[in-house]
Amino acid sequence: MGGHHPKLCELGENKMNIAVIGTGYVGLVSGVCFSELGNRVICVDNNQDKVEMLNAGEVPIYEPGLQELMIANKRAGKLSFTSDIAAAIRESDIIFIAVGTPSLPNGEANLGYVEQVAIEIGTHLESYKIVVTKSTVPVGTNDRVRELIQSISTQPFDVASVPEFLREGSAVKDTLNPDRIVIGTDSERAIQALKKLHRPLTENLIITDIRSAEMIKYASNAFLATKISFINEISNICEKVGADVTRVAEGMGYDKRIGSSFLKAGIGYGGSCFPKDTQALIQIAGQVDYDFRLLKSVVQVNQDQRFNVIRKLEEIFGTLSGRTIAVWGLAFKPDTDDVRDAPAIDIIRYLTEAGAVVKAYDPIATANFRKEVDATSIVWEENPLHAARGADALCVLTEWKEFSQMNLMELASMMSEAIMIDGRNVYNKEQIKASGFQYYSVGRPGLNHAEGKAAAII
C-alpha cells in the first residue's frame, strides 16, 4: 500500500495505522479492538466533550470490558482520541466511517453524517487510503461516498463496505470473536489490506461486491427481527391455546435449520438498530418499487407486542388512573444504558397518560431514559425494592440479571397487590409458585398463579 505513515514500521509488518471516525458504540469498540490487535488507532469525533472524556480515560457509554481495554491500549500508545480529522486521515492507511445513520421521519436512513465525513476525507486526502464504511448504510451509499470524495480530490483511494454485527452489551466480546467479517469492495488492494487486518479475528472472511455487503447487513438485521416477531406471535397464540412458548422455542431451536437464538418471546425488539434498520430496508425496497410485505408485518407485530403489558394491566384493573405501577428495566436490553427505541418508553408514556403513578428502576439506564420521558407522575428509584414498595403491580420490562435473583416472597409482601407482569419471562414455575404472585408472563399461561383467571385475561 502506498502512503504508509513511517510509524507503520514500528508496529511490525502486520500492523496498520487506522483512523475510526465516530466514537459511538461501533466506532469506539472497533477502534479499541483494532488497537488491542496491535494496530495504531486514532479515534475521531466531532463532539469535543466526548473526545475530552475519552482522553481522560472515561468511556461515555456503558459496555462491559470496554473501559479496561481502552485504558490499557491508550497507555501502550496504540490508541488516541482527537477531534482533528485532518491529522487522523493524514496519519492513517485505512479510514473507517462509523458515524450514526439514524432514521429520517419517513423511515429512510439519514446519510447526512456519512456524507459529511466523506467530504472531510476528500478535503484532507493527501495520499492513497482505503475508506471503509462500517456504519449501516443503504445499498449504493459506498458509491455515493466514492463520488463525493472524487468530486473533491484527485488523490487515489479505494472504498469498501465492512458492516458491523456487534450487539450492545456484548460489543467487545462480539468484536473480538465475530461469526464472520464481510468485506465488500472491487479493489484487490483493499481486499488484501482488509483481510490482513481482520484475519486475527476470524477465518470466516466473506469477500464480496460492495452492494451485496451493504445488503447483507440489512438482511441480517431484518431476519433477526423477523425471528423475534415470529416467536412473539407464536407466544400470543400460546397464551390462547394453553401452550408454553419457551418450550415451543426450545423444541424448534434444536432443528439446526431454525437455530435456538433470537427465539425469546417478550415485549418486542427495541434499540438503535432493529427498529431503524427494518424501516430503512422497507424504504430501500420501496424505492425500487418493491413492497416488502413480510417486513412491514414484522414491524407492525413488534410495535403492538409491547402493548400486551398494558392490555394485561387493563384487564386486571380496568382503569389505570390512580394506580401505582412499578417498572423494572428501562434499557432496551440488559447490560446497556441505551434506551433508544426501548419498548419501556411507549409503555411508561401510556401509563402516565392513563393517569397511573410509575415508580421506575433500572440499574444504569435511568439517566438516559429521563432524557426521553420525564413527568411528575414518574418516581425514579435507585433500588428495585423501593420501586416495588406499595405498588399495585410490577412490570418487568428488561431481563437484568439482578431481577432473576430477587426474593419473590419478600417482594410480594411489600407490594400493595402482589401482581406481576413479566414481559421477559424472567421467572420460572417454582419461583412463582412459592411467591404468592398473581403472575402474567409472555406465552406461558400455565405459569399464572390464578390459572383459570389468567386464561380468561389473555
* Residues annotated as catalytic (active site), given as ranges: 273
149 lies in the site for ligand NAD, by CB under 6 A: no
Of the candidate spans 44-52, 69-77, 145-153, 316-324, the one that interacts with ligand NAD by CB under 6 A turns out to be 44-52
168 lies in the site for ligand UGA, by CB under 6 A: yes
Distances (CA, A) of 188 to 51, 185, 398: 34, 8, 45
Q: Which amino acid is at 281?
A: L
Quote the CA–CA distance of 396 and 429 in Å, as a whole number. Answer: 16
Minimum CB distance to ligand NAD, residue 25 (Å): 4
E strand intervals along 23-144: 40-44, 79-82, 94-97, 129-133
How remote is the C-alpha of 334 from its chain's centroid?
Answer: 11
E strand intervals along 368-428: 378-380, 393-396, 419-422
263 lies in the site for ligand UGA, by CB under 6 A: yes
C-beta closer to ligand UGA: residue 317 or 328: 328
22 lies in the site for ligand UGA, by CB under 6 A: no
C-beta closer to ligand NAD: residue 323 or 340: 340
Minimum CB distance to ligand UGA, residue 1 (Å): 28
E strand intervals along 63-220: 79-82, 94-97, 129-133, 157-161, 181-184, 205-208
* Residue where the block lists cell 445499498: 139
Chain residue whose CB lies nearest ligand NAD: 24
Positive/negative CA dihedral, 167, 109, 304, 320: positive
Longest dimension (CA), the chain: 75
C-beta closer to ligand NAD: residue 182 or 193: 182
Quote the CA–CA distance of 224 and 191 in Å, as a whole number. Answer: 28
Of the candidate spans 144-152, 195-203, 257-265, 365-373, the one that interacts with ligand UGA by CB under 6 A turns out to be 257-265
**Binder among 73, 135, 161, 398 for ligand NAD (CB under 6 A):** 135
Of the candidate spans 267-275, 361-369, 410-418, 432-440, the one that interacts with ligand UGA by CB under 6 A turns out to be 267-275
Site for ligand UGA in 379-398 (CB under 6 A): none
Quote the CA–CA distance of 242 and 249 in Å, as a whole number. Answer: 15
Quote the CA–CA distance of 327 and 397 in Å, as a whole number. Answer: 7
Q: How many beta carbons lie within 10 A of that of residue 63, not counting itself?
A: 25
168 lies in the site for ligand NAD, by CB under 6 A: yes
273 lies in the site for ligand NAD, by CB under 6 A: yes
Per-residue three-class SS string for 301-358: HHHHHCHHHHHHHHHHHCCCCCCEEEEECCCCCCCCCCCCCCHHHHHHHHHHHCCCEE
In contact, 181 and 201? CB cutoff 8 Å: yes
**Binder among 46, 150, 170, 297 for ligand NAD (CB under 6 A):** 46
C-beta closer to ligand UGA: residue 129 or 264: 264
* Residue where the block lists cell 468530486: 151
136 lies in the site for ligand UGA, by CB under 6 A: yes
27 lies in the site for ligand NAD, by CB under 6 A: yes
Minimum CB distance to ligand UGA, residue 335 (Å): 9
164 lies in the site for ligand UGA, by CB under 6 A: yes
C-beta closer to ligand UGA: residue 332 or 437: 332
Enumerate binding residues for ligand NAD (CB under 6 A): 21-27, 44-47, 50, 98-101, 113, 116-117, 135-136, 164, 166, 168, 272-273
